[in-house]
Amino acid sequence: MLPDLTTLTLLLPEIVLVLSATALYVGGAFRPGHSLWPLVANGAYLAALGLLLGFEWGRWESLVEQGATASGPLSLDYLGQLLRSITLVIGLLLSLLMSRTAPDELKTEHAGTLMLAIAGLMFVARANELVLLFVGLELISIPTYALLFMGRRDRATGEATAKYFFLSLLSSGLLLYGFSFLYGMGGTTTLIGNGAEPGIREAVAALRAASAASVASAESVAGPNLWLLAPLAVILVSAGLCFKLAAVPFHFYAPDVYQGATAGNAALLAVLPKAAGVLAFTRLIVAIFPAYATAWQMAVIVAILTMTLGNICALWQKHVRRLLGYSSIAHSGYLLIGLSVALVADNDALRAEGLAATLFYLAAYAFASIGGFAALTYIAETGKPVDHVEQLAGCGRSHPLAAGVLAVSMFSFAGIPVFAGFWGKFALFASTLEMATGANYGPLSAWFATLAIVGALNAAIGAAYYLRIVGAMFFQSAPASVGVTTGASATAVQASASEATGSATTLSAMVACGLLVIGMGVVPAIGFRGAGYAGRSVAATAPAATPAAEAASNSSMPVRPGETSGDTANASTRDVTHNAARVVADQVTSVGNE
């Protein structure tokens, strides 16, 4: 019997990447330095992107209309599709950025390893299965260890890599332990199933309802009450993911590792694990435990602590990458704002809004991060060391383009219009305040009003150190030219700077990121639309919360009048979704046969 090829076609872009990576590994060993390899390294991303956008083009529209069609190991939803495309763009940018800094004798290995990590993130984006998800996460982590070592081989790098390696293993362990509880509760490894084959989500919802009913009726559940495992599962999985996100209290590796890594690797660390963390958090916590008090309260507290701690620690940093390490911690806090709104929301629209805000913010953050680190790489390539903020002095004059991109990234991080970051913060604050000002949320209002205000104040605190970087570049003259201010010497400085130019690849990555950040800011509608569909596709799959049960078991969710009607309404939309899911599942013949 012929093997069923549907699953393979659905994973074609990933397969292209993995095959290209293999070709790079094998071929590079025989013909190192061949001019074909850079072409393969960058072309593979374009080919995969072409496949993704072209081959599956027709499916995008149906994804929008039908919401999620999760079944089997792959979730065919808009979220996955969108994140895979963005991942490929990120992969191309990172590949361009790192191609020059990689050591010559390891060029092909370097490119191949990066490609595997990108493929890992794409698997995570599409996984609807615990094992596949975990394999995807590891496929990101393991190449990252190798890349960190390849970047630069000195003591600091060694220490940073070892630290990252051990902590990453620890977090994987925590995550796996959490997965075991999820599996124990659900009895299956499929995350989101359908009526015929329930996944973990359906099983957990059933357990929750049974438990709530037993509390309400004061009778014990038949058999062991597995719902009692929920806090353990949520906390362990969140702990593992907080490491990926570099959120408090699992943040402390980030500054050390960023400082020890090359700028290119720092960009990789700033983007890939965070995107994976957000995706996994969405699939594992938001979709499975909607409106679960333990989960959202933890998310809110972690968000507040993370952004405040990250921003305040960053204020005192003098080392650029260390500073950006703390800044990336702060941005994790912002990502958690949106995720906690999505977690707590009791209706699909608001849940979708929270997720959409998170995704938009993630994209804005990713492009600004890569742009910023690319600018640092570019400046370093011209022979000017950039380890300390003060070493950036005079870059505004000697490297106007790189300094411009870095400034754009910093302003976007700070959330100043009209850069992408502003719209990210706008979406986050809008969803948070919608939660805070909602009509019937009672005590929830205070939680989310606090979250919004802390978030807003943090935006101002964060601006302080971003402006320090911009100020160093533009407001100070380079140390060498202090005391000589005539026009002639200024041109001399420019001339000397232009002698050593950075590589064209880094330049293109840098400029592309700058344009993306500005473009997302000037034309935010496209990004909002995409993020909105993605958020909706997951929000619709999340089972309707059981607020009545929640209210019975947890006093912080007040019982609201008229929620039974809302509940039935949600239930009916869910049925519609499931019917749609079944239709598409038939079209995409037996994806879920495994």
Partner 1 sequence: MSQLLLVTIFLPLAGALAMAGLAPLGREAVRWTALVIAIATLALAGTVVNSFPADGATAFASSELAWVGPGSGAGPASDWLPDVRFSVGLDGLGVWLFGLSALLLLTSVLVSWDAIQDRPALFYGMLLLLESGCLGVFAARDLLLFYIFFEFTLIPLFFLIGIWGSEERRYAAIKFFLFTLAGSVLTFLGLLAIVLWDARHTGGALRFSIEGLTQGLAAHPLPESWQTWIFLALFAGFAIKVPLFPLHTWLPLAHVQAPTAGSVFLAGVLLKIGTYGFLRFNIPWLPAATASFMPWMLLLSVIGIVYGALIALAQRDMKRLIAYSSVSHLGFVMLGLFAINRLGIQGGTLQMINHGLSTGGLFAIVGMLYERYHTREISQLGGLARRLPWLSLFMLIFTFSSIGLPGLNGFPGEFMILIGMFQRGFVETAGAWRFGLQVIAVVAVSGVVLGAWYMLWLVRSVFFGPIKEPHDDDHGAHAGPHGSDHDKHGHGGDHGGDHAGDHGHGHGEAPLGAGPPDLRWREFAALVPLVIFVVWIGLQPEYFLRRMQSTLNPVADAMVRPIEQRWGESAPAVAGSTADQLGSR
Residues that bind partner 1 (CB under 8 A): 61, 64-65, 349, 352-353, 396-397, 411, 414-418, 422, 426, 429-430, 433-434, 437, 439, 452-453, 456-457, 459-460, 463-464, 467-468, 470-471, 474-476, 483, 485-487, 490, 524-526, 528-529, 532-533
Q: How far is the CB of 509 from partner 1 (least distance, A)?
A: 21
Compute the distance between CA of residue 40 and CA of residue 374 in angstroms, rounded to an integer: 21
Compute the distance between CA of residue 33 and CA of residue 494 in angstroms, rounded to an integer: 33
Q: Which is nearer to partner 1, 149 or 429 (by Cβ)?
A: 429
Q: Of 513, 570, 530, which Cα lies nearest the Cα of 365? A: 513
Compute the distance between CA of residue 254 and CA of residue 534 in angstroms, rounded to an integer: 29
Compute the distance between CA of residue 464 and CA of residue 177 in angstroms, rounded to an integer: 40
Q: Of 247, 233, 126, 122, which Cα lies nearest the Cα of 183? A: 233
- Residue 537 carries which side chain, given as an amino acid letter? S
Handedness of CA 240, 244, 246, 252 (dihedral sign): positive
Q: Of 120, 119, 525, 248, which Cα lies nearest the Cα of 360? A: 525
Q: How far is the CB of 305 from partner 1 (least distance, A)?
A: 19
Quick one: tokens of 285? 């916590």
Q: Which is nearer to partner 1, 450 or 503 (by Cβ)?
A: 450
Q: How far is the CB of 238 from partner 1 (least distance, A)?
A: 27
Please measure the distance between the N-terminal and C-terminal CA atoms of the chain and give it in whole angstroms. 16
Residue with tokens 């060029």: 107
Q: How far is the CB of 334 from partner 1 (least distance, A)?
A: 13
Beta bridge partners of 74: 71, 127
Task: Give the DSSP letter of residue 74.
Answer: E
Q: Residue 35, Cβ neighbours under 10 Å: how many? A: 7
Q: Which is nearer to partner 1, 136 or 514 (by Cβ)?
A: 514
Q: Which is nearer to partner 1, 61 or 499 (by Cβ)?
A: 61
Report which secondary-structure segment, H or E, holds 70.
strand 70-71
Handedness of CA 322, 388, 455, 308 (dihedral sign): positive
Q: Which is nearer to partner 1, 283 or 351 (by Cβ)?
A: 351
Q: How far is the CB of 525 from partner 1 (least distance, A)?
A: 4
Q: Which residues of 365-379 are buried (b: 16+ CB within 10 A; e: fewer)?
A: bbbbbbbbbbbbbbb
- Whether the upstream peptide bond of residue 248 has omega within 30° of 0, thus cis, is no
Handedness of CA 578, 354, 336, 528 (dihedral sign): positive
Largest CA distance in the chain: 88
Q: Which is nearer to partner 1, 8 or 460 (by Cβ)?
A: 460
Q: Which is nearer to partner 1, 45 or 423 (by Cβ)?
A: 423
Q: Which is nearer to partner 1, 144 or 537 (by Cβ)?
A: 537
Residue with tokens 């293109």: 508
Q: How far is the CB of 433 from partner 1 (least distance, A)?
A: 5
Compute the distance between CA of residue 24 and CA of residue 18 in angstroms, rounded to an integer: 10
Q: Which is nearer to partner 1, 40 or 414 (by Cβ)?
A: 414
Q: How far is the CB of 434 from partner 1 (least distance, A)?
A: 5
Beta bridge partners of 384: none
Q: Which is nearer to partner 1, 527 or 547 (by Cβ)?
A: 527
Q: How far is the CB of 65 from partner 1 (least distance, A)?
A: 6
Q: Which is nearer to partner 1, 31 or 529 (by Cβ)?
A: 529
Q: Which is nearer to partner 1, 405 or 470 (by Cβ)?
A: 470
Q: How far is the CB of 257 from partner 1 (least distance, A)?
A: 29
DSSP 352-378: HHHHHHHHHHHHHHHHHHHHHHHHHHH
Q: How far is the CB of 458 from partner 1 (least distance, A)?
A: 9
Q: Which is nearer to partner 1, 412 or 546 (by Cβ)?
A: 412
Q: What are phi and psi of 31, to 5 degrees?
A: -125, 65
Quick one: tokens of 379? 């400046």
Q: Which is nearer to partner 1, 180 or 476 (by Cβ)?
A: 476
Task: Give the DSSP letter of residue 262.
Answer: -
Q: Of 307, 510, 480, 298, which Cα lies nearest the Cα of 406? A: 510
Q: Which is nearer to partner 1, 160 or 352 (by Cβ)?
A: 352
Q: How far is the CB of 557 from partner 1 (least distance, A)?
A: 19
Residue with tokens 């929640």: 550
Q: How far is the CB of 440 from partner 1 (least distance, A)?
A: 11
Q: Of 378, 464, 453, 379, which Cα lies nearest the Cα of 413? A: 464
DSSP 448-478: HHHHHHHHHHHHHHHHHHHHHHHHHHHHS--
Q: How far is the CB of 536 from partner 1 (least distance, A)?
A: 8
How does strand 74-75 pair with strand 70-71? antiparallel
Q: How far is the CB of 199 from partner 1 (least distance, A)?
A: 27
Q: How far is the CB of 159 from partner 1 (least distance, A)?
A: 33
